[in-house]
Amino acid sequence: MIIMSVDLGKARTGIALSDKGEAFAFPKQVITEYNEEKLVAKIAAAAKEYGAELIVAGLPKNMDGSEGFRAEECRAVAAKIAEAANIEVVLWDERCTTVSAHTVLNMNDTRGKKRKQTVDAVAAVMILEDYLGFRKNSK
């Protein structure tokens, strides 16, 4: 099954995809969009274009596991994505993914404008890799 992950952001949203065998996650794109309705439409279009059969959206929890205002916003956007794409959307804990993505980019000496354009897609890969690991261990 091809699974698409989404790292929702206020300005940039990272998109990653799995292979059909659910073994690998690949960065696909970063959508720059401030308007929520347009963002939802672009994510739904990407899911259709890539043949996604499931979408995993990052859920930004606080470090203590509680959910704040941003988590509520992500839940609402995820529901809109599910409706627009007509695909199930699973919310997945994304704590520390952006920090980890910055660490990976530091290790690869990715700086400046390229880093800004890449970090959200790398965070989406990390969300997807974590979810794929969960699926593999749950079988």
pLDDT above 70 (res 27): yes
What single-letter amino acid sits at 126?
Answer: M
**CATH code at 59?**
3.30.420.140
Strand duo 12-18 + 25-32: pairing: antiparallel
- The predicted pLDDT at position 94 comes to 78
The C-alpha atoms of residue 88 and residue 98 are separated, in whole angstroms, by 24
- The predicted pLDDT at position 112 comes to 59
- The predicted pLDDT at position 55 comes to 98
DSSP SS3 for 9? coil
- The predicted pLDDT at position 67 comes to 72
76: number of CA atoms within 13 Å, CB side?
8
Q: For residue 105, what are the domain limits?
A: 3-138
- The predicted pLDDT at position 119 comes to 66
Mean pLDDT calculated for residue range 80-91: 97
Least confident of 14-28, 55-69, 96-110: 96-110
Helices (H), the chain: 36-50, 69-85, 97-107, 112-138
Angle at 72 between CA 31 and CA 137, to 5 degrees: 75
What single-letter amino acid sits at 21?
Answer: G
The C-alpha atoms of residue 44 and residue 25 are separated, in whole angstroms, by 19
- Domain tally, the chain: 1
* pLDDT confidence tier of residue 71, bands split at 50, 70 and 90: confident
